[in-house]
Amino acid sequence: MKVGLSLVVALIFGAGMSAHHAHPDFALDRSARVEGTVVSVQFQNPHVLIRLRTADSSIYMAEWQGAQFLQSHPELVSERMPVRSTTLKIGDRVAIVGAPSRDSALRGLVNLKEVRRLNDGWVWKTE
């Protein structure tokens, strides 16, 4: 009985983990660049969430790597310093590159490749 329950739990959590990163609503084969002003940053796991307002007042949500990943990979940052909860602040002007929503009305980006703070040239980049 324990084996059966363990298998069910593993299947449920395994399916959730793969579905979490599948992103079927996003064009993973394309990249889009969005510029705007940071409205909020939720520095958390499994993903850091950045909301930004564009020049036309649209609100975009960008799903970045998790906080733990960003803190442990300073080599991805122009200054070779880890990303911290204070790296991006409300009011910062940023440009973000990532996979766009298939439905442009959703205004979202995932699988971020670059986050650039326009105020001072700070850059986080995976490629």
pLDDT tens-digit readout, 50-99: 999 999 999 999 999 999 999 999 999 999 999 999 999 999 999 999 99
> What number is the average pLDDT over the span 103-121?
93
In a domain, 6, yes or no: no
pLDDT surpassing 50 at residue 11:
no
In a domain, 15, yes or no: no
**What residues does 49 pair with on adjacent strands?**
42, 63
Our count of domains for the chain comes to 1
In a domain, 93, yes or no: yes
Indicate the pTM of the whole model: 0.80
Give the domain CATH number at 71: 2.40.50.140
**Residues spanned by the domain of 71:** 27-125
Q: Do 71 and 63 touch, CB atoms closer than 8 A?
A: no
What is the pLDDT, as a whole number, of residue 8? 34
Give 5 or 103, the one with higher predicted confidence: 103
> What number is the average pLDDT over the span 99-117?
92
pLDDT in tens, 18-51: 344 566 778 788 999 999 999 999 999 999 999 9
In a domain, 35, yes or no: yes
In a domain, 21, yes or no: no
What is the pLDDT, as a whole number, of residue 98? 95
pLDDT surpassing 80 at residue 105:
yes
Q: Do 32 and 97 touch, CB atoms closer than 8 A?
A: yes
In a domain, 5, yes or no: no
Q: Do 60 and 108 touch, CB atoms closer than 8 A?
A: yes
In a domain, 17, yes or no: no
